[in-house]
Amino acid sequence: MSSGRRVLVIEDNLLNLELVSGVLESCRCDVITARTAEEGLDLAETMHPDLVLLDIRLPGMSGEAAISIIRSDPRLRGLPVIAVTAQVMQGDEAAALQAGFDAFLSKPIDTRRLRDLVDVHLRVRTPR
């Protein structure tokens, strides 16, 4: 049974996409997936997700460029977006938060941390 909460996952790696989708489905979320930032932005505008998990390194448009577009669009500006990345050098999390992401999740993905972040950010977002 679904909670009615929609989570958009923008991830180009199929294994990571499947892992994240499985965790979200176990949390009773409706999962929407995109393999590119461009596709994800289109889905964010049309599907009205409650939360986005956005890979920073994507083919074509990067996650950093996508978050900039999200934060400048009045329709999407308040949408919580979690950065998901294998880029975990010192300062990367701070840079992601400075760029406009609400949280940072490193790869390999810790499924417990993923659940905690999703819970926090879906609880903060008011229901439709």
Q: How confident is the model at residue 1 (pLDDT cuts 50, 70, 90)?
A: low
**How high is the pLDDT of residue 88?**
77
Q: At residue 2, does pLDDT exceed 80? A: no
Q: 3-state DSSP call for residue 10?
A: strand
Distance CA 50, CA 127 (A): 8
Helix axes 63-72, 37-47, angle to 10 degrees: 30
End-to-end CA separation in angstroms for the chain = 18
Asked if the model's pLDDT at residue 128 lies above 70, the reply is no
**C-beta of residue 118 within 8 angstroms of C-beta of residue 24:** yes
Per-residue pLDDT tens over the stretch 9-61: 999 999 999 999 999 999 999 999 999 999 999 999 999 999 999 999 999 99
At residue 123, the pLDDT reads 85
Q: Does 4 score more than 90 pLDDT?
A: no
pLDDT tens digits, 64-118: 999 999 999 999 999 999 999 987 788 889 999 999 999 999 999 999 999 999 9
Give the model's pLDDT for residue 90.
86
Residue of 126 and 18 predicted with greater confidence: 18
